[in-house]
A and B are shown apart, each in its own frame.
Chain A
């Protein structure tokens, strides 16, 4: 041991590390520091010599044993889950108890990295924000990223190894791993098949290569149910090699979106939304966005024009556009396609055609040709070498299935993913996996796949591990743990490292990758770069450089539309994605953007088609696809293409956990390998039905006042009349006057703010029965309205938080003064004064108040206490609650400002919803500051008060939506 037993300086230095002010890194090794053990020995030398015990000794011993109880957990390398990241024997500089610490780290979806900042408080990760430095998030988040922190504390997460289903808690997890490693590594990997999820992680690539070198006989497979293989196939068809397409919406004048949802489900969705809205905000509404789609998407709701097509007509339509680009007068073209082509041609290099991941390769190839024809390949579109490498034929899941069938798989290692659930039904994977003599599954849950495998290894959450990944544009981002592991568990990279003989230390494995990547600069500068990258969350200047490519020959021959009467589209669920979030209460309870359905899914069907089949909402149908069938309830979705059923994936799980099992129907059961996205099938109406849970019903907009739409030329939302008389004297707000503006033109309805609010404010999950009764607790809801025909309606989204009315109707009716106005104009809710008459909710015209009808924080559904934001009180049964404008954030900023003897700066306070919003639709700040962003927003002529005629004087106002641009408007 190098240091003396009393070298507390060394410990302190070690504890403080070389980190930046608010950033932690490399903390696990602290717990194992020899200095720490020495320090403990020196501090409590009497422990071993306790003889006759007097009162003082007893007290001392009790104190010491309490102290040791904390320290005793140090020293098992961190995998036990018990090791504290930091042992506060002394204060750590820059870290005060109760003060949040922000970690920059990365998440991965479909292999692509998403940069996040995680706020941890006292060793618990409590909130996720977007990383402003990350190109794919720009500081925003989506609902899934927000909800990751709840998944982290999922009580159903696996906590132990299992062999044949039995928990193995005997001894050291490391000792359990050794025989597994040995068994997998035997025979140089012959008969070993490894199945991974697609990833962009450089460390994973490096380790896979290292394992390949050690075990040359092993075969590798990759599968994710929502991976965009058709994009690569389309690029191969057009350019001869697989390429990623990176869209630049900020440069596009005319955007034609063929399927998919640019703003929600496509990789880079946050960036798309931000770029689109940024351009709209700066350049007025000069962009034309045209959505060509079969099922309503957020892009379609935002689009200036929406073309509804059956999936089977999509390819012909794309072909028509391409042909019309060359030959505008061509006969037998769809007139809509001809018009779109003329618009695209007008925009030239500033035109953009995007294709959804569910569309076949041919359409992707056609879009590439359009781009080439328009000259957009150097403008709005950049081609990159695949960030997530495409899956070759022999690497596919079906290749693995064939190998198991052929009996050539003796050992199977599944690193993450859940193919037994989300694999195509025709492969019959659960049974096949059971046939493999030795199978190992690394997963955060003991799920469907784990049950089919012999061994289950608990996987740690991304917030518990080191690693790296790359964003859609290739920018590398680092991942670091934001807290200690909750249970002994391992990351994918650690298991790969174990197989590669490089050890289990996730940080060392990741560092090794980057040490090699930065080899030229030497070790000294490596530390600096590493720490900078950890602090930023991204590796500066690591974005891929675009590659040049030109389409090869003429487009291929048109593909015949599939037989069958009804088109079937499989789609990621806007709440559960591919099913991985099935056990996440926040996401289960999140009303989907269009249907507002929660706690379940339904097959989306056009109202006209449903009428023809005699179906109403919730009626059961039998859906048959290629010989398999499932029973599902239908949802009548205005704007859905006729004779087209959209089946949201991700429900009907059996191994998700106590929350997510048995909810909804499992569309994977009819998903074929050959046509994983779009197929055809038949639909048969059944006599049975079920009641679907939805938070809002189909109500047409009964008034022009609620959602206001202004023309781009004359953007005046309301004539500003004299304020109506009030019985109450006017009140002046001398200090701060907090207010919010919500830009309806920017809002895309993505739900990120809803989950952000839930996470920040400890909003309870109430469960399906309670939501069905109409008791969901969301402080911020997104109202959705349709206008126009049911075939192709306009869809409007309106986020509705508490309006913080200056003359708040709720305040005067509360008999006990439990809701009162603050001197800064906030409508405060005093939880411990509330007796629960609920009359405030009666008198709230916006109905934003939420009542704890039951003790929602003590149900099996309620979130772990660990995920609770310690700055927000948890509400009791029987009290009312509602949006507070994130008053804890206001308080924090006010305190900081007061300490520094200054005013709160504009932009210093960002509400949780505002921070999450990808399009910056929400602004918040001090209305008394004429220069603040929110004051300027409210000065806009588009500003209007919702139900302003009631004279409630809401502090939250809306900016009217700018009406859709017709083609003529833009040409001018």
Chain B
């Protein structure tokens, strides 16, 4: 039994402990880090010269900043929700993909979390939204959805980090035990918080893990809804829809799922973890993605019907999103998030790396188009025709998008290098159960 468990743990643990990593990894990291450099350049220049470097204007005061924010937070939320559900349901799939899902969620939050700060006109004063006892006794405006958003995103970041970290503790201990270099031993040791694998440890750990996972569930609904509220509670005709929170939660789920699917497929392929992320897992992920894509389809249908039922101004604004200047993006969102995932009905497609990666990335792109269409489309048919004006991003703004993608990729690459990509203890646990 013991030897069997060891044999399972070894390949997964070997990955972070290996002294060398292939040229592919280095190449990937190099590309990702150069994109991170671009992101830094973009952020520094925006900080020095102001957000005027972006394509934002009056009335389109929000551009890529909020589009990217809403997009990344969608990825993070979807992935968290998925991971938490697996933990709570003790689903078999959790063994294989929980760690990715949690990591995707965490890195998504990191990418998303910077936007509410850097998008400010005076980002160095971001802490003013925090209710601290200022000398002038000025408090934040608690009626503002942006204040809610501050709470939502900070809570979300904390809980996501906890979920990821709590799930990681036993594996960190394993790494500590297997590390050969003293420094690695020391670092993993500190991170493992003195984990010795006693029964009491295991019992507390399971409780804590599940508690955090339970926390994630309402939080995800709150987080996505809060992002949606930033738009839905305004007077802007194209945004003022009660269905928007639902739209954000559900589309966020498919977005997170698709991202987990893509990364699972890529890791499985490139780290040769077929044994741990088996065909059954992949199939299930594909089916879930397909199901949530169908939900998305329903939501787009719902949106269309809701627009028809709303007031004349909302109708004009909504229909303009489907027929106006950026109609292409709206329909691209529908195609990418609803129609293309339909190929996952085919079993071969669900197992094919190319097909799933294509579908997954497509869904992500589609959701980005969806956010763009919503945020920019809001002002193309505002109340006063004299203020109608379009928006086009600048290179700097594009740097924000590409840069955060690079940051996300770099974090993922470092993750697979230094952290066990598949939960070792869960896998061992499963194997034990199978054996017994």
Contacts and interface: CB of A to CB of B under 8 A. Distances in A.
Interface stretch (B137-145, B155-163, B335-343): B137-145
A839 B120 CA distance: 10
Interface stretch (B50-58, B257-265, B275-283, B348-356): B50-58
Contact of B384 (A814, A847, A849, A854): A847
A901 interface: no
B235 A774 contact: no
A701 B388 CA distance: 12
B128 interface: yes
A775 B125 CA distance: 23
Contact of B120 (A809, A811, A836): A836
B128 A851 contact: no
- Shortest Cβ-Cβ A-B pairs, 8 listed: A836-B121, A878-B121, A853-B52, A774-B57, A854-B52, A838-B61, A783-B386, A699-B385
Nearest to B142: A815
B51 A878 contact: yes
B122 A835 contact: yes
Name the residue in B122, B143, B230, B236 with the highest tally of chain A Cβ atoms < 10 Å from its Cβ: B122
Contacts of A834: 121-122
Interface of A: 696-697, 699-702, 706, 770, 773-775, 781, 783-785, 798, 800, 809, 811-817, 833-839, 841-843, 845-847, 849-855, 876-880, 946-947, 950
Contacts of B58: 774-775, 841, 847, 849-851
Given A775-B52, A851-B61, A854-B52, A839 B384 contact: no
Contact of A842 (B122, B234, B383): B234
B386 A784 contact: yes
Contacts, number: 156
Contacts of B52: 770, 775, 853-854, 877
B310 interface: no
Contacts of B120: 835-837, 878
Nearest to B382: A847
Name the residue in B56, B61, B125, B150 with the highest tally of chain A Cβ atoms < 10 Å from its Cβ: B61
B298 to A, nearest CB: 28
Nearest to A701: B385
Contacts of A847: 58-59, 382, 384, 387
Contacts of A811: 141
Contact of B128 (A835, A854, A876): A835
B235 A845 contact: yes
A845 B62 contact: no
A815 B51 contact: no
B50 A814 contact: no
A880 B50 CA distance: 13
Nearest to A816: B128
Interface string B37-76: 0000000000001111101111111100000000000000
B interface secondary structure, majority: loop
A877 B121 contact: yes
Given A816-B141, A853-B50, A838 B62 contact: yes
Interface in B116-161: 119-123, 125-126, 128-129, 138-141, 143-147, 150
Contact of A785 (B139, B140, B386): B386
A744 to B, nearest CB: 14
Name the residue in B49, B125, B387 with the highest tally of chain A Cβ atoms < 10 Å from its Cβ: B387
B230 A839 contact: yes
A29 B378 CA distance: 63
A638 to B, nearest CB: 15
Given A817-B141, A833-B138, A842 B62 contact: yes
Nearest to B143: A812
B5 interface: no
A841 B374 CA distance: 17
10 contacts: A774-B59, A774-B389, A798-B386, A809-B235, A813-B141, A835-B122, A836-B51, A839-B145, A854-B53, A855-B49
Given A814-B141, A837-B146, A839-B144, A700 B385 contact: yes
B48 to A, nearest CB: 10
Nearest to A830: B138
A228 to B, nearest CB: 34
B316 interface: yes
A947 B141 CA distance: 26
A878 B50 contact: yes
A845 B382 CA distance: 7
A195 to B, nearest CB: 45
A817 B50 contact: no
A923 B283 CA distance: 71
A269 B119 CA distance: 47
A847 B380 CA distance: 12
Given A809-B234, A845-B382, A839 B121 contact: no
A815 B121 contact: no
Nearest to A835: B125
A846 B122 contact: no
B303 to A, nearest CB: 20
Given A842-B62, A852-B121, A813 B144 contact: yes
A500 B145 CA distance: 74
Contacts of A781: 386
A947 B53 CA distance: 33
B61 A817 contact: no
A836 B57 CA distance: 13
Contacts of B233: 813
Name the residue in B57, B128, B147, B388 with the highest tally of chain A Cβ atoms < 10 Å from its Cβ: B57
B68 to A, nearest CB: 16
Given A836-B120, A851-B58, A950-B235, A815 B140 contact: yes
Contact of B385 (A785, A850, A853): A785
Given A855-B50, A877-B121, 14 more contacts: A784-B386, A811-B141, A813-B141, A814-B146, A835-B125, A835-B126, A836-B120, A839-B234, A842-B62, A842-B236, A845-B382, A879-B122, A946-B384, A947-B383
Contact of A697 (B145, B150, B383, B388): B388
B144 A812 contact: yes
B139 A817 contact: yes
B86 to A, nearest CB: 35
Nearest to B144: A815
A879 B121 contact: yes
B202 to A, nearest CB: 43
Contacts of B147: 815
Nearest to B389: A774
A839 B141 CA distance: 13
Nearest to A950: B235
Interface in B356-407: 378, 382-389
Contacts of A853: 50-52, 56-57, 121
A700 B384 CA distance: 11
Given A813-B234, A837-B120, A878-B120, A773 B55 contact: yes
A854 B383 CA distance: 27
Contacts of B57: 773-775, 853
B383 A816 contact: no
A784 B60 CA distance: 20
Contacts of B121: 834-838, 851-853, 877-880
Contacts of A838: 56, 61-62, 121
A699 B386 contact: yes
A702 to B, nearest CB: 6
B60 A774 contact: yes
Name the residue in B52, B122, B143 with the highest tally of chain A Cβ atoms < 10 Å from its Cβ: B52
A813 B146 contact: yes
B264 to A, nearest CB: 37
B384 to A, nearest CB: 6
A852 B57 CA distance: 10
Given A816-B141, A853-B56, A877 B50 contact: yes
Interface in B215-268: 230, 233-236
A696 to B, nearest CB: 5
Contacts of B146: 813-815, 837, 839
Contacts of B60: 774
Interface string B277-300: 000000000000000000000000
